[in-house]
């Protein structure tokens, strides 16, 4: 089951970006999966996560943000990143019209996805964005490393979808007490899954008794179980 290469048209001014669709035969969901700030869709984390999702019946569409596509070190402005999320969701809807959609990503990719899904109450049933049934965050970057703050959470109150936050206890970009407070404020829309001893990249300490590969397998299974429990 090799991934299928796709091309996203972000905009006339920005151009195209690459994507990879990985669909298992028994897929129930399709997760539109964005990468983090420092590594693209072919990073080992993204590759392994896509394989683990395939094993639990979740297809994935991984994609590049334009700056990564162009080999640039700094992320594009938020407007370009958000436009790319929209383009990826539209491509996913076209590629798998029979599957229910999830959207999210690693760190920056997850945060930009949440911005793309905020303020969308007017989406019509024919819009690809209206097909998204939930958001999944693999390490939501709540603040700069070691500088606890909740300033990046305000827009989440305008996301009307269920949200799953997968967070490590050693994540220096997300003080866990602030994450818990954020989820409490979001109420039943938010589900928090804590990974003991995991850092922002979901590397775990040896004393956890688990390998990094086992952690990614558990993340995929947790996400699939959460998605299947949604009332959609």
pLDDT of the chain, 232 residues: tens digit per residue: 789 999 999 999 999 999 999 999 999 999 999 999 999 999 999 999 999 999 999 999 999 999 999 999 999 999 999 999 999 999 999 999 999 999 999 999 999 999 999 976 555 555 888 899 999 999 999 998 888 888 888 899 999 999 999 999 999 999 999 999 999 999 999 999 999 999 999 999 999 899 999 999 999 999 999 999 997 6
Helix axes 108-117, 78-95, angle to 10 degrees: 80
β-bridge partners, 20:
5, 62
Per domain, the residue ranges of the chain are 4-229
Assess contact for 30 and 100: CB atoms under 8 A: yes
- CATH code, residues 4-229: 3.40.50.1820
Q: What is the pLDDT of residues 149-171, one digit of tens each?
A: 888 888 999 999 999 999 999 99
What's the pTM? 0.94
């Amino acid at each position: 089951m090799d991934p299928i290469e796709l091309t996203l048209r972000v905009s006339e001014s920005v151009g195209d970006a690459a994507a990879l669709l990985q669909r298992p035969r028994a897929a129930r969901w399709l997760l539109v999966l964005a990468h983090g700030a420092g590594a693209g869709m072919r990073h080992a984390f993204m590759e392994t996560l896509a394989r683990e999702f395939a094993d639990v019946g979740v297809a994935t569409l991984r994609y590049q943000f334009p700056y990564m596509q162009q080999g640039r070190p700094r992320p594009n402005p938020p407007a370009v990143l958000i436009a790319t999320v929209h383009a990826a969701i539209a491509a996913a809807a076209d590629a798998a019209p029979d599957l229910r959609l999830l959207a999210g990503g690693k760190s920056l990719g997850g945060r930009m996805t949440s911005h793309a899904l905020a303020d969308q109450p007017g989406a019509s049933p024919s819009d690809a964005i209206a097909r998204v049934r939930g958001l999944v965050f693999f390490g939501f970057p709540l603040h700069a490393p070691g500088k606890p703050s909740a300033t990046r959470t305000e827009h989440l109150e305008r996301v009307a979808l269920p949200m799953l936050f997968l967070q490590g206890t050693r994540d220096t970009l997300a003080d866990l007490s602030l994450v818990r407070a954020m989820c409490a404020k979001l109420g039943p829309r938010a589900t928090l899954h804590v990974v003991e001893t995991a850092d922002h990249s979901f590397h775990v300490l040896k004393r956890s008794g688990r390998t990094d590969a086992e952690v990614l397998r558990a993340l995929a299974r947790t996400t699939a179980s959460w998605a299947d429990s949604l009332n959609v």
